[in-house]
Structure 1
Amino acid sequence: MFDNLPKVKIGIVAVSRDCFPESLSVERRKALIKAYEDKYGKNDIYECPICIVESEIHMVQALEDVKKAGCNALVVYLGNFGPEISETLLAKHFDGPAMFVAAAEESGDNLIGGRGDAYCGMLNASYNLKLRNIKAYIPEYPVGTAEGCADMIREFVPIARGIIGLSDLKIISFGPRPLNFLACNAPIKQLYNLGVEIEENSELDLFEAFHKHDNDPRIPDVVKDMEAELGAGNQKPEVLPKLAQYELTLLDWIAEHKGYRKYVAIAGKCWPAFQTQFGFVPCYVNSRLTGMGIPVSCEVDIYGALSEFIGTCVSEDMVTLLDINNTVPADMYEESIKGKFNYTHNDTFMGFHCGNTNSKKLSSCAMKYQMIMARNLPEEVTQGTLEGDILPGEITFYRLQSTADSKLRAYIAQGEVLPVATKSFGGIGIFAIPEMGRFYRHVLIEGNYPHHGAVAFGHFGKSLYEVFKYIGVPVEEIGYNQPKGVRYPTENPFA
């Protein structure tokens, strides 16, 4: 696991209403723990053994116990009906994400002395959570057998990791956004509302720090590591020392500026003056830091960096940031996609960025120059991109954004990168998302999203959706690709 991510340890606390047999919750808790450990191991859970919570005093004792055990996430397990006040106070006073789950009845032969009524108790728990304005994760169907509840708790782990990560995240940015880049506006008020710190720096600060690393004795070792990673794709070896110097600059900046925060993401500057002053473009270095679990967004996209970090937490894997860039030409669709994959032409598009996607997520890679920038600048100052087609496979395209008037909204869409050659440049892939054309119009355009989207390599929509809900994004502001036949509110019914 990356060092820049939280390690989740879940404390499982069972509760019991005092007019129900406490043994119901005790035995069901033991069965739940066994089911989880048998299937998923013991590393990320802790069974609170001190008491079954029936009262506020028990609640305090349980909280002290899970805190002492180092738990940073909580599962409140209704082994029976449960004490609605004490169980919700567990979530209120626990410093971290909380989940509520309830026990199903085990046998038709034990519905007198052994009936727990947790199905009913979950309703009271949810009512009391709302009454006290307490956040908690409740699964889609939160009542189950020991094995079923174990699976639900396992699904909570990446959700908890994302929430915990945000509570200890600092975003470090360099420079204002480039000219003509208002799309990636970043009202920082919502960052503070989420518990995220931000440190905004000048490009001049970064330039000074870079030159303090001139002739850094560590540069040759970083160059060797880059050479090993690039292999035959090392087409611009002359720029590697500068890139190594820049990588060391960023890593040292993180170490010196992390402050009291545990986790860091970077929103970096890369044009228009970056190339002429630094003498390269930073794309490849950005890709390497992202591969270390330290997401770096291009073009000072602060909410892009925030989105990347959430995806890294949820997936425990590196992510990337791409432009939702261009259509797939009709002749390419006819030749390579139609009849071979179950997608319409409008379901497909190309996701691209100059060269910030990590080499492990590319079919092959090569160090090149930035072709778009080189149209106006000498080619030698635009070297430093990592180009190649993105690996085919499942992806989730998503973004968390603050609007210009500081309201949170998000989108999530699951799809795949197709195994089709792009015949283009940069870090690029042919993406397919069901009903992408309608999603593009009625979520992305209608929601005023920028062209940058974060990409997680796998299907993580379920976890991302729950993270966004938990941190306060209104559910009506979480866009997704509606299936065919389900109309968007802004979709013309006569179109």
Structure 2
Amino acid sequence: MGVKNGRERKVTLGVIVGNRGFFPGHLCEEGRKKIIQVLQEEGFKAVILSPEETRYGAVGTLEDARKCANLFRRHREEIDGILVTLPNFGDEKSIANTLRLAELNVPVLVHAFADDPSKMRVQDRRDSFCGKISVCNNLAQYRIPYTLTTRHTVDPDSLEFRRDLHKFAGICRVVKGLKRLRIGAIGARPADFNTVRYSEKLLEANGISVETIDLSEILGRANRLSDEDSAVKQKLEEIRTYIDTKGIPEESMLRMSKLGVVIDRWMTDCDLSATAIQCWTSMEEYFGVVPCTIMSIMSNNLLPSACEVDVPGLVGMYALQEAANRPSAIVDWNNNYGDDPDKAVIFHCSNLPKDVFAEASMDYQEIIAGTVGKENTYGTVVGRVKPGAFTYARVSTNDLSGKLEAYVGEGELTNDPLLTFGGYGVVRIPNLQGLLRYICERGFEHHVAVNLSQTAEALEEAMGKYLGWSVYHHRG
């Protein structure tokens, strides 16, 4: 995917307008215009046949299917997903043939216009309700996976359909992103953390490449940089603009800046979109700083960064980010919260992105400071996570089954009182005890990715239906 900085994640959809000749053609003409209008209003780009290429710019014959498939193939690199829309019954064979001939292998959303009970005579009757069932039947025969709108038929102008579009956009981003993801792994996992072992080969088989580099190379390059280097000064200003650094020694700030410059350059050189970093204790002992702020900045810029070289955890962060179009964090399932069986404390030391905090500031890492000294642990980002809805996800490589496995779900970050350190929050999850039992029985890791969104359904569809991973959706 390459290094991506910024928050724009616009989605391009190939659009198939279905038409069956003996149904009212004017409905296709009007329906095509309406769909284009709604897509434009919601920030999507459409690749669609023109009325000059086929009747009404729709697909109703094998020849139409060939024209549409050729159009889609010419835009293969742009198209993230395909929207099939039925202003009338539609021709199910032509739609299925278009998708087969185009060979894009992207997510497909099937939409049907709703009939108006006051317009049920032959000149205005859609029968899209029935046509959608036939289209889905054919796609199933062709072994083409597809996504459905929340309601069987729905007005494109409705808020409900617009929500369906954005959920589908998330599915498209996850599928496209994970099929081409390039991850950087900096250093070795902590020796005591067998929990973050993973299989590079299983990830590669699923389109996810891991580029490795020894931590000594990163630190060596950082040590060669001058305090007066223009890139170092620029990174220093970026850090100060990003977060409150009051009380942080200037020497620590310069080390962080040099580390950030080196990692940025390495990611650009290797065409990487995410990193997992050996964050302790070599970094602190031999370089004198924690990487948390640099990682937080990257995650906040949609270049997610996971600690303890947890590469599969990073994949979960990236998937959540693509589904929600906003930054993700990685945390520990860390503590019970009193006697409430549905509440728990999530925590990290931390490198959480600023986007997830109610308030945040830079400090030293209290846990590691006891081992390597406070002066070597400046750079952690501390604060409480914002209250509100959130989605969690964990991806794992299962060497025994030879598959990628994941669990996803949604919950609430609460305002329950808690006095602690690091980056933290209290979560409420329906039947949390059942989820924890599943995590333990299946041997999942203690890390989990979180995002301040409600995107579990999009993740389940993307990873399960379109990527073929084993996905458990915890619904309480």
TM-score, length basis structure 1 = 0.85
- After superposition, give the CA deviation of every residue in 1:255-285 in whole Å (9 maximum; x if it has no partner): 1110xxxx61111111232221222111111
Amino acid aligned to 1:256: D
Question: Distance between the aligned counterparts of 2:243 and 2:42, measured in 1?
Answer: 37
Question: 5 Å matches for 1:77-88?
Answer: 77-88=85-96
Which string of whole-angstrom CA distances, capped at 9 and with x for unpartnered residues, describes residues 64-105 of structure 1? 435556443221112333333331233332533322222232
Q: Out of 144-153 and 176-185, give the one that drifted further.
A: 144-153
* Structure 2 residue 181 is the aligned partner of structure 1 residue 169: yes
Does 1:425 find its partner at 2:421? Answer: yes
Q: Would the aligned equivalents of 1:166 and 1:195 in 2 still touch at CA under 8 Å? A: yes
Asked if residue 62 in structure 1 is aligned to residue 65 in structure 2, the reply is: no
In structure 2, C-alpha distance between the alignment counterparts of 1:185 and 1:232, rounded to whole Å: 34
Partner of 1:160: 172
Aligned AA (2:119): D
In the alignment, is residue 368 of structure 1 matched against residue 380 of structure 2?
no
Amino acid of the structure 1 residue aligned with 2:30: E
Unaligned segments of structure 2, at least 5 residues:
none
CA distance in 1: counterparts of 2:204 and 2:132, whole angstroms: 32
- Cα root mean square deviation, aligned: 2.6
TM (norm. structure 2) is 0.88
Aligned counterpart, 1:479: 473
Counting only pairs closer than 5 Å after superposition, residues 249-268 of structure 1 correspond to structure 2 as: 249-258=262-271, 264-268=273-277
Is 2:434 the partner of 1:438?
yes
Deviation, structure 1 residue 177: 1.8
How do 1:449-488 and structure 2 match up within 5 A?
449-473=444-468, 477-482=471-476
CA separation of 1:107 and 1:33: change in aligned 2, threshold 3 A: farther
Equivalent position of 1:44 in the other structure: 45
Which of 18, 25, 32 matches 1:15? 18
Residue 415 of structure 2 aligns to a residue in which SS? coil
Matching residue of 1:309: 318
Contact 2:460 2:473 (C-alpha < 8 Å) held by counterparts: no
Alignment partner for residue 205 of structure 1, among 203, 217, 229? 217
Q: For residue 20 of structure 1, report the CA deviation from its aligned partner.
A: 3.7
> Which of 77, 100, 112 lines up with 2:122 in the alignment?
112
Matched, 1:31 2:25: no
Segment drifting more, 320-329 vs 113-122:
113-122
**Mapped partners of 1:182, 1:276: distance in 2:** 22
8 Å contact from structure 1 (residues 322, 454) kept in 2: yes
Is the contact between residue 5 and residue 293 of structure 1 (CA under 8 Å) also seen in structure 2? no
Deviation at 1:183, TM superposition (A): 1.6
Using the alignment, how far apart are the partners of 2:8 and 2:217 within structure 1? 27
How many Å separate the matches in 1 of 2:233 and 2:15? 49
Q: Give the match for residue 341 of structure 1.
A: none
- Alpha-carbon separation, structure 1, partners of 2:89 and 2:201: 41
The counterpart of 2:405, out of the listed 403, 409, 433, is 409
The answer to whether the aligner puts 1:380 opposite 2:372 as a matched pair is: no
Q: CA deviation at 1:327?
A: 1.6
Task: Report SS of the residue matched to 2:20.
Answer: coil
Do 1:236 and 1:367's aligned partners in 2 also have CA atoms closer than 8 Å?
no
Q: 1:97·1:164 contact (CA, 8 Å) conserved in 2? A: no
User: How far 1:156 moved relative to its partner?
Assistant: 1.5
Describe the SS at the equivalent of 2:212.
Answer: strand
- Distance across 2 between alignment mates of 1:246 and 1:354: 19
Find the aligned partners of 2:385 and 2:84 in 1 and give their Cα distance.
42
Q: Which runs of 5+ in 1 are unaligned?
A: 331-344, 483-495
* Number of the residue aligned with 1:319: 328
Contact 1:386 1:426 in 2 (8 A): yes
By how many angstroms is 1:131 displaced? 2.7
Structure 1 439/18 Cα, relative in aligned 2: closer, same or farther at 3 Å? same
In structure 2, do the counterparts of structure 1 residues 471 and 240 end up closer, same or farther at CA, with 3 Å as the change threshold? farther
Query: For 2:134, what is the secondary structure of its paired residue?
Result: helix
The number of equivalent residue pairs is 460
Q: Equivalents in 2 of 1:5, 1:162: separation in Å?
A: 14
Aligned to 1:229: 242
In structure 2, the CA distance between the partners of 1:129 and 1:284, relative to structure 1 (3 Å rule), is same
Structure 1 contact 91–136 (Cα < 8 Å) conserved: no
* Paired AA for residue 7 in structure 1: K
- Identity over aligned residues, as a percent? 23
How far did residue 460 of structure 1 move?
A: 2.1
Query: In 1, Cα distance between the equivalents of 2:245 and 2:90?
Result: 63
Once the two structures are superposed, what CA deviation does each residue of 1:347-403 show, in whole Å capped at 9, x if it has no partner? 111111111012343233332222222232233222221112222222212222222
Q: CA deviation at 1:440?
A: 1.4
Counterpart selection for 2:307 from 298, 312, 322: 298
1:389 corresponds in structure 2 to: 384
Name the CA shift for 1:165/1:4 in 2 (closer, same or farther; >3 Å): farther
Q: Equivalents in 1 of 2:213, 2:153: separation in Å?
A: 49
- Shift of residue 421, structure 1, vs aligned partner: 4.1
Task: Rate the CA distance shift 1:245–1:435 in 2: closer, same or farther, 3 A.
Answer: same
**Shift in Å, 1:192:** 2.9
1:479 maps to amino acid: H
Q: Match for 2:415: what amino acid?
A: P
In the alignment, which residue of structure 2 is the partner of 1:76?
84
- AA aligned to 1:174 is I
